[in-house]
Each structure stands twice: as structure tokens, then as C-alpha cells.
Amino acid sequence: MSNIIYLDNAATTRISPAAREAMEPYLDSLYGNASSLYSLGRESAKALLTSRRSIAEALNCDPREIYFTSGGSEANNWAIKGTARLMEKQGKRHIISSEFEHHAVLHVLQSLEKNGFEVTYLPVYEKGAVRVADLEKAIRPDSALVTIMHVNNEIGTIQPVSDIGAVCKERGILFHSDAVQALGNVPIDIQKLNADFLSLSGHKIHAVKGVGALYISKKIRFAPYIEGGAQESGLRAGTENIAGIAGFAKAAQEAADGVEEKNAKLLPLCDKLYRGIMKLEKVHLNGCYEQRVVNNLNFSFEGIEGESLLLMLDMAGICCSSGSACTSSSLDPSHVLLALGLPHEVAHGSLRISMSRYTTEAEIDRLLEVLPGVVGKLRAMSPLWENIMKNERK
Ligand SMILES: *Cc1c(COP(=O)(O)O)cnc(C)c1O
């Protein structure tokens, strides 16, 4: 698998050499339980402490506000369910979110709706961003939480999170942001975001899978999320994944310190991709070109199924993603693309290209070399494309 061109970094990333190195002692000789009192255990406890400090430093918060989790999904579940439990005691059962959150937010909200909560989903419009004016209108006296992602994972658009945080602070509403796709792509300063909760995931920033964190502002008093031990200040029981956490802390440091360098490297590649792909017939960029991270571009190709496009690219050794959620057995197009107002048939023909700091110009050139042929071949076989062309001639 050495010649793979990996352009699906919004799905997961390869581990960085430094993150791997940071893990190694804890996979090997330093295997003590961080709760044990002898020195082998204390080595693990020390790693936990320094890792928490590095993450806090990367985000500009207090280390005691960082809670390690199994990843972004758990962090989202914890923030939202924890807030719901806390706020319903005050009779607050209204939550504000957006139409295109990650499923680890949306599905939690849907289950809360079945349990007496009301959720307002803000529209994201064609450009793929919520509007602060819509948020202000949606706020009610019983609003408990606003949960809006920092960067969308499917189309890469950036949400106005600082403004959202400011509104929430002023109106006394808690604010959670899923920042899994933001870390390493945009600068993050928790103090400027005015966020009460922030979700992070290791494997999206070149650490291993199965580790992440939730920032919980120290003014929040949550009940335990996982019971059964004193780990994570008694809020999340379970023996800590020390190796994973040490690698995650290193990766977070690299991600936060490397934002500018990475973006400077990827901007010309993003531009080249955009210009190269937009040369093709009947192709659209999903979301807008301005308010986005430079590592993620999502296009719709009329007359094509995204899945066929993926499979043909895979045969050429290129890994991308289609926007459509065909991981489930349903053939429904992606909720994100539908939220942008795309017609079903256009939402089906989408392709997400997501780069990392390891992406090279040669890889982008190769994609641009292969793609036109693949698109042409699929369209030549597509009845949908034939119809589009027929209507064009009318
Ligand atoms: C990947 C992702 C998640 C889930 O993170 P895991 O660590 O895989 O659980 C949540 N939100 C967004 C925006 C993501 O991209």
C-alpha cells in the first residue's frame, strides 16, 4: 500500500512520527497504571499530567479543564447529554444547533427530542454557514445549550464560532463546539471562542484512533459521565489510554503550532485543485471558497454517482470520500449537502478531497490527471447525464 495517494484526511490521518515516538515508552516498558502508587505507575501519571498540560497550552485553557475521552464522538455525547441533564433541572429543555452537524451531535439531539427536549436546527444556506442573526432569533428563555461545529467535516466551511460564543455568553446560554476538524486547520483560542465545551479527536490530527478530549469550562459542574473510578476528576471512570494520550498531546502540539505553515503549504494546492476541477463541465464547489479550511474541498459532479467515482479513483490508487452517507444501508444523500439546498441527484455525485500536511503537489497533479477521464467514462455510461445533455439541447 505504499503508492496510495491519500486524500481522505477528514476521515482519518496517518500517525506523525513524533506522535508515534511519544507513545512508544508507554507501549513498552512504562506500562504502569496511572492510579498505582509505585514509581512505575507514577511514570504513567506523569505522562497524563504533561499531556493534559500540552493540550491545555495548545488551546489556551487550564489543564484541569481538559478531560480525555475515546474520541470526538464521545466528547460530543458527553457535552450534550451532560448539559441536558444539568439544565433540565432548571426547566431548560431547548437546544439550538445547525442542520449540518456531525452525526455524533445530530443523533444525540434526536434522542433528546424523543425525551422531551426541543431542538432548533439553524439553516446553513448555500454557502454552508449559520448566521448569527438566526441564532439570536432562535434563543428562548428556556434555551439550555447552543451546539455548533467549528469546521464542517464534509465541506470544510468555517462557522462564526467567536460571534456565536459572544452571543451565548451575553444571553447566559452554554456553548459547545465540535472542533474536531478545526484543530490544526485554524487557530483555536478557547478564551476568544467563549466556548464552555469543545470536542477534539486524536486521529484527525495525526494521532492514533480511539483518543480525544473534551474541554469543560471550570465553571461547569457536571455529574460523572462514566461511573466506576476516580479517573478524569471522577467524571469519566476507566484506566487511561496513556500511550494514546501521550501521542495525542504531541500531535495536538504539532497541529496547533503548525497551522500557519500547513496552510501556507496547502493554499496553492487547494487553489490548483479548485481551478483544475472547475474546468470540467457541470461541476460545483459545495460551500463557498472563502470561509473554508484550505485542506478540504467538496465538489458535486452532475450526472454521476459519488460511489462509482470513489471506486474508480480507488482503482487508480487514490483515496477520497463521497459526501453521501452510504455507510448506512440507506442510499440517502448526505444530510450536509441537502442542508446546502442541493437537489438529491446532485448531492449524490459528490467528492470530498481532504489534504494533510503530508500531501504533495505531485499527488494533486496525479488526481487532476486521472479525474477527467474517470468523470468522462462514468458520464458516458450514465442515463442521468444523457438526460441532462438532452435537456441542454432543447
Ligand atoms: C471524525 C469526527 C468526529 C468523530 O470523532 P471520532 O474520534 O472518530 O469519534 C466528530 N466530529 C467531527 C466533525 C468529525 O470530523
Note the pLDDT tens digit of each residue in 275-288. Answer: 999 999 999 999 99
Q: Which amino acid is at 155?
A: I
The closest-lying atom of ligand 1 relative to the alpha carbon of residue 151 is 13
The closest-lying atom of ligand 1 relative to the alpha carbon of residue 209 is 7
Cell matching residue 163: 460571534
Instruction: State the average pLDDT over residues 90-105.
Output: 97
In Å, how far from its chain's centre is CA 249?
18
Nearest CA to ligand 1 atom 15: 153
The closest-lying atom of ligand 1 relative to the alpha carbon of residue 74 is 9
Told to judge if 288 belongs to the known catalytic residues of this protein, a careful annotator would answer no
Nearest CA to ligand 1 atom 6: 72
Note the pLDDT tens digit of each residue in 301-319. Answer: 999 999 999 999 999 999 9
Q: What is the pTM of this model?
A: 0.96
Residue with cell 432543447: 394
| 42 pLDDT tier (thresholds 50, 70, 90) | very high
Total length of the chain? 394
Note the pLDDT tens digit of each residue in 13-31. Answer: 999 999 999 999 999 999 9
The residue to mutate among 181, 188, 208, having the most atoms of ligand 1 within 8 angstroms of its beta carbon, is 181
Note the pLDDT tens digit of each residue in 188-234. Answer: 999 999 999 999 999 999 999 999 999 999 999 999 999 999 999 99
Give the pLDDT score at 282: 96
Instruction: State the average pLDDT over residues 246-256.
Output: 98
Does residue 358 carry a pLDDT above 90? yes
Q: Which top CATH class is 5-12+259-393?
A: alpha beta
CB-based contacts of 144, cutoff 8 Å, min separation 6: 83, 84, 87, 88, 90, 92, 93, 94, 95, 173, 174
- Alpha carbons 176 and 188: distance in angstroms, whole number: 14
Domain boundaries, the chain: 5-12+259-393, 17-257
- Alpha carbons 238 and 146: distance in angstroms, whole number: 29
Side-chain half-sphere exposure of 67, counting CA atoms within 13 A? 30
Give 332 Cα–ligand 1 centroid separation in angstroms. 20
Which segment of 257-261, 323-327, 343-347 scores lowest on mean pLDDT? 323-327
- Alpha carbons 249 and 241: distance in angstroms, whole number: 12
Give the pLDDT score at 322: 86
Give the pLDDT score at 333: 84
Give the pLDDT score at 328: 45
| 332 pLDDT tier (thresholds 50, 70, 90) | confident
Minimal CA–CA distance to 140: which of 116, 118, 162, 108? 118
Does residue 67 carry a pLDDT above 90? yes
Instruction: State the average pLDDT over residues 150-166.
Output: 97
Relative to beta strand 174-178, strand 143-147 is: parallel
Give 72 Cα–ligand 1 centroid separation in angstroms. 5
The percent of residues in the chain predicted with pLDDT above 90, rounded, is 92
Fold classified for 17-257: Aspartate Aminotransferase; domain 2 (3.40.640)
| 323 pLDDT tier (thresholds 50, 70, 90) | low
Give the pLDDT score at 393: 83
The residue to mutate among 8, 153, 158, 198, having the most atoms of ligand 1 within 8 angstroms of its beta carbon, is 153
φ, ψ at 82 (rounded to 5°): -60, -45
Does residue 153 carry a pLDDT above 60? yes
Instruction: State the average pLDDT over residues 124-150.
Output: 97
340, 371 in Cβ contact below 8 A? no
165, 175 in Cβ contact below 8 A? yes
